[in-house]
Amino acid sequence: MKKIVLAYSGGLDTSCIVRWLTEQGNEVICFVADLGQGLGQGEDFAAIEERALAAGATKVYLKDLQDEFIEDFIIPALKANAVYEGKYLLATALGRPLIAKYLIDIAHKEKATTVAHGCTGKGNDQVRFEVTVGILDQKLEIIAPVREWEFKSREEEIEYAQTYNIPIDVTKKKPYSIDRNIWGISIEAGVLENLEQEPPEDCYLITKSPTQIMTYPKYIEVYFERGVPKKIDGKTYKLKKLINYLNEVGGFYGVGRTDLVENRLVGIKSREIYEAPAATILHIAHKELESLVLDRELAHFKEIVSLKYAELVYYGLWYSPLREALDSFVNSTQKYVTGSIKMKLFKGNCMAVSRKSPKSLYKKELSTYGKEDKFNQKLAEGFIKIWGMPYKR
């Protein structure tokens, strides 16, 4: 008999896992991480706990990790402009190492030798969980029941859950696999596997359809201090509130939908739909502000770092020396990233329309074509001659 701490979501897979592991004579303790999956509406954690116990868990830990998730994972990724394959803002990928960290913590507290997760053997999340556990405590054993159990379909799992009276909410269940947290939603499977089909409206949970928005544009001004969003329209917000607010407003204007065929770590391509209104608004605004305050060389070099940063997050290498080193670089670039960007949200679009910063490198007297021009155009002639000199034969 083993004492196993399971990363438990309350869904069908992890509920069946509780029963499956218990049946084999193990003691199962469930860990539910709150990363804001209620998306400001609140999640029914009491029902999740009840389900875990009904499935056979001896104990349930619930931890609100939202603030730590935001401060230690989301904000660093935002400062780094980390975007995977040009589109994915990494909500799921950022959450995994944090969940794994607490899974290990609870295993230590409970003197358990083993941890378990409900990820499929075809995905990235198994890698993120297990690599993190391996880095933070290589003595812990890891079990991934979905990779080895006998169930071949959702229906078989539902039947199994019903046999053991595990209260599963199957009627409301849409035919998608969904992962949610405060930074965004990842949606896959079902009809989305057909690349020729446009995602049906029913796969979206928090964004309105851009074609159905019958209203005027909405302007919002985001103020950043050293790369961190602090105010909206002049009002100071704590980060959790700020993100929840932008998810709500952005969602109402249809902002933050993405449809991506991505390269998974395990070598396959898969199609995933993402909804991330707040993350989209903040990424765009942050990048716009950087355009204003970072010099050309720093800005261009930072783009290379962004690419690498996003890969590390996607690949489950959060707790790696390179990620830490990149954070030091990124933090030093944020010294001047203070200022306000006014965004216009309309029919799924989100663009900057006004910019200001006390650290701006933009000098109107140099760029203007008007008569207040101070740029000495005569100097350009010599500059061009020297610039092109190496290429003349």
The number of helix segments (H) and strand segments (E) in the chain equals: 14, 14
Tell me which of 125, 128, 180, 306 is the catalytic residue: 125
Is the distance from CB of 330 to CB of 337 less than 8 angstroms? no
Query: Taking the complex as a whole, how short is the minimal distance between the CB of residue 129 and ligand ARG, in angstroms?
Result: 12
Tell me which of 15, 19, 51, 96 is the catalytic residue: 96
CA distance 133 to 126: 11
8-state DSSP, 345:
E
Query: Taking the complex as a whole, how short is the minimal distance between the CB of residue 221 and ligand ARG, in angstroms?
Result: 31
Q: Say whether 264 is catalytic.
A: no
Residues that bind ligand ARG (CB under 6 A): 92-93, 124-125, 177-179, 186-188, 272
CA distance 273 to 34: 22
CA distance 175 to 198: 16
Q: Say whether 202 is catalytic.
A: no
Tell me which of 34, 64, 177, 226 is the catalytic residue: 177
What are the two backbone dihedrals, phi and then psi, of residue 194, each rounded to the nearest 5 degrees? -90, 105
From residue 248, alpha-carbon distances to 143, 254, 345 in Å are 37, 10, 12
Which residue shows structure tokens 């799992």? 157
194's torsion region: left (phi>0), alpha (psi -120 to 50) or beta? beta
Query: Taking the complex as a whole, how short is the minimal distance between the CB of residue 257 and ligand ARG, in angstroms?
Result: 15
| The two three-digit tokens of residue 125, written as one number | 């999340």
Query: Taking the complex as a whole, how short is the minimal distance between the CB of residue 258 and ligand ARG, in angstroms?
Result: 11
Neighbours of 106 (CB within 10 A): 19
Query: Taking the complex as a whole, how short is the minimal distance between the CB of residue 316 and ligand ARG, in angstroms?
Result: 9
Q: Say whether 125 is catalytic.
A: yes
Which residue shows structure tokens 């035919």? 175
In the complex with ligand ARG, the residue whose CB is nearer, 186 or 340, is 186
Q: Which residues contact 13 (CB under 8 A, 6 or more apart)?
A: 118, 146, 157
In the complex with ligand ARG, the residue whose CB is nearer, 263 or 349, is 263
Q: Say whether 147 is catalytic.
A: no
Query: Taking the complex as a whole, how short is the minimal distance between the CB of residue 313 and ligand ARG, in angstroms?
Result: 9
CA distance 378 to 381: 6
Catalytic residues: 13, 96, 125, 177
